[in-house]
Structure formats: structure tokens, C-alpha cells
Amino acid sequence: MQYENVQIAIEHGIATLVISREKALNALNRQTLSELEHFFGEYGPEIEHLKGVIITGAGEKAFVAGADITEFSGLSATEGQALAQRGQDIFFLIERFHRPVIAAVNGFALGGGCELAMACHLRIAGEKARFGQPEVNLGLIPGYGGTQRLIQYIGKTKAMELLLTADLIGAEEALRLGLVNYVVTAGEEITKAKELLEKIATKAPFAVSKIMETVNAYFEDGEDGFEREVSAFGECCGTEDFIEGATAFVEKRKANFTGK
């Protein structure tokens, strides 16, 4: 696939995806969504020795300032449902990706941008970052999972307030509420994200993927997270990395995980 709006750089096993529509504040249009879909559905899973993925936005103003509203005008109810479903499907690809995905939020993360950040496994916010779901100002609601994931991260009471008022919150409040993992000096978002991915990369890759899978299972309809945990624990016990990890612990040395 020819990537037009997502710039991809892979260095030392870390893929950095830059949403590059700076003049449009990196708004998510259909082409950008297609490129994210291709990366997380086809390209990304085939990258060998991948430690993780970082998503950020071009420029200093915005991570992603929302969906591209110019593509929304004239949508019928049926077309709107199809658009929301596609957005959710793509963001599920990110949430269920086999390697950690970190949002490096370097500015506005609004609407679809906030939803994109929430679909990632971890979030690093620059001190100038701002978050919000302002769709109600347009006579809409979030359609890419915002009404569901915001509750998961900050609880129903505050999520309901932010969704109904369309108020924005800054990086420090996002940290206090549990929406982001760290707040860093502006411009240091990717550096912190890489630091985290390098740390996670020292752990057993299969176990890391199973942790993300079982945590996600808690929120999935029809899934028993405890049951999934039992199954995943057993799968981990059958790996060479478990043998190596247990042996290294007994021998008081650093484990050398191979992902097998």
C-alpha cells in the first residue's frame, strides 16, 4: 500500500508512525484510517523483531485534532453507522495488536484523536497536550469507541461530564484522572515512549502479548477475563521463555528471552 498521510520509520525495532496532515491538524480522513488499518492489520504483524509502535502527530500543535469533518457532511444514518463501525474496527486492530502501542500525544487529541490515543496501550502526554470529546458541539457523539474507552480509563462520572459538556482537559488533569501514564516536557514524548518500549522489550514477548490480551478481555462483551487469564497462564508455561525466566531467577542472572 502507498502511504500518503502516515509516515513510518523503524529504528532499533521500534516503529514510529507520524500522522502527517499538519495543515489539517492531522485530522483523520478516510485515507489516513486506511493506512492505519493496513499497518496494524497487514504490515505491522509481519515486521520481524518488532518491539513496539509509537503513534504521534506532525508538528507541535496537534496529535490528532479529530476526524475530518469535511467528509461527514451529507452522511445518511446508514452511512454514518458504517463510518463509525469502520473506525471502531480499525481501532480494535490497534488495541489488539501483538506488540505494545504507545500514543505520544504532542498537542490536541480531540474527538477521533482522543479515541485513537485511547485505543493505544499506553499514553505519553506532552505538557501542552489537551484531550477531549467535543462531538456534541457538532450534534454528534463519539463514534470510534470514545463513549466506551473513556469510561474505562476515568470512570463513568467524569466521562459523562466530559462527553456532555465537550470540555477539554490538559495534560496534568489527564494524568490525575488516569487517562495518560506520564506527562513530559513538550518535545520529549517520543523519547519517553521509546524508553518504555525498550524496558518492555526486556521482558518475555509472548507473556507481554498475553498480558495485553487478558487485560483487554476484561472489557470485552461475552468474555470471562479470569478464564482467559487461566488459559494464557497455561500457554506461557509451555514456552521456552518461561523455562529461561525461571532458570535465570534461580541462578540470579538476567533472563535472555527469545520469544519462543
115 is catalytic: yes
pLDDT tens-digit series, residues 106-136: 999 999 999 999 999 999 999 999 999 999 9
pLDDT (0 to 100) of residue 258: 86
CA distance 54 to 189: 10
> What CATH class has 6-200?
alpha beta
pLDDT tens-digit series, residues 69-105: 888 878 899 999 999 999 999 999 999 999 999 999 9
- Out of 35, 37, 115, 213, the active site residue is 115
pLDDT (0 to 100) of residue 27: 95
pLDDT (0 to 100) of residue 232: 93
CA distance 246 to 39: 35
Domain boundaries, the chain: 6-200, 205-250
CA distance 153 to 218: 13
Cβ neighbours of residue 132 closer than 8 Å, sequence gap 6 or more: 109, 110, 111, 114, 162, 166, 167, 168, 169
pLDDT (0 to 100) of residue 223: 81
Rounded mean pLDDT, 242-258? 88
pLDDT (0 to 100) of residue 64: 97
pLDDT tens-digit series, residues 194-245: 999 999 999 999 999 999 999 999 988 778 889 999 999 999 999 999 988 8
- Out of 37, 95, 135, 213, the active site residue is 135
Residue with cell 480531540: 110
Instruction: Extract the runs of DSSP E, i.e. beta strands, from 66-129.
Output: 101-105, 108-110, 122-126
pLDDT (0 to 100) of residue 246: 86
Residue 67 has pLDDT above 90, yes or no: no
Stated pTM of the model: 0.95
213 is catalytic: no
Rounded mean pLDDT, 42-63? 96
pLDDT (0 to 100) of residue 73: 78
DSSP assignment letter at 219: T
pLDDT (0 to 100) of residue 37: 98
pLDDT (0 to 100) of residue 71: 82
pLDDT tens-digit series, residues 145-178: 999 999 999 999 999 999 999 999 999 999 999 9
Closest C-alpha to 139, from 100, 118, 174, 166: 166
Buried b (16+ CB within 10 A) or exposed e, 52-75: bbbbbbbbeebbbbbbbeeeeeee
Q: How far is CA 209 from CA 97, 108, 148, 205, 220, in A?
A: 8, 29, 22, 6, 17
Share of the chain above pLDDT 70, in %: 100
Q: In the predicted model, what is the mean pLDDT of the chain?
A: 95
Length of the chain counted residue by residue: 260
Residue 54 has pLDDT above 80, yes or no: yes
